[in-house]
Amino acid sequence: MLKHYWLDDLAREAIFRSIKQAVDKKYGKLVGLNMDCCIQYQRASCALLVSGCAPEKMKSVTESLLAELSAINNKGIS
């Protein structure tokens, strides 16, 4: 069971790193991105936290996050 948890944790980290690289490439240090995961009853609940973003750029940042998540879903992590 611990091996399964570690594999899931590694997958979450890989997805976050891929998203973070895409956001950093597009916005640089203007947008802070973090992931907060809570594990309860062997299930993870994760949230992406966006900080340091001007309110007028939030729509653009959100669309970029959605595009990257969609690309990961369709193509996997490269």
Contact 53, 16 (CB under 8 A): no
Sole residue written with tokens 């997805």: 15
Angstrom distance (rounded) from CA 75 to CA 73: 6
Q: Mean pLDDT throughout 48-55?
A: 89
pTM: 0.81
pLDDT digits over 33-51, tens only? 999 988 888 788 889 999 9
Angstrom distance (rounded) from CA 40 to CA 44: 6
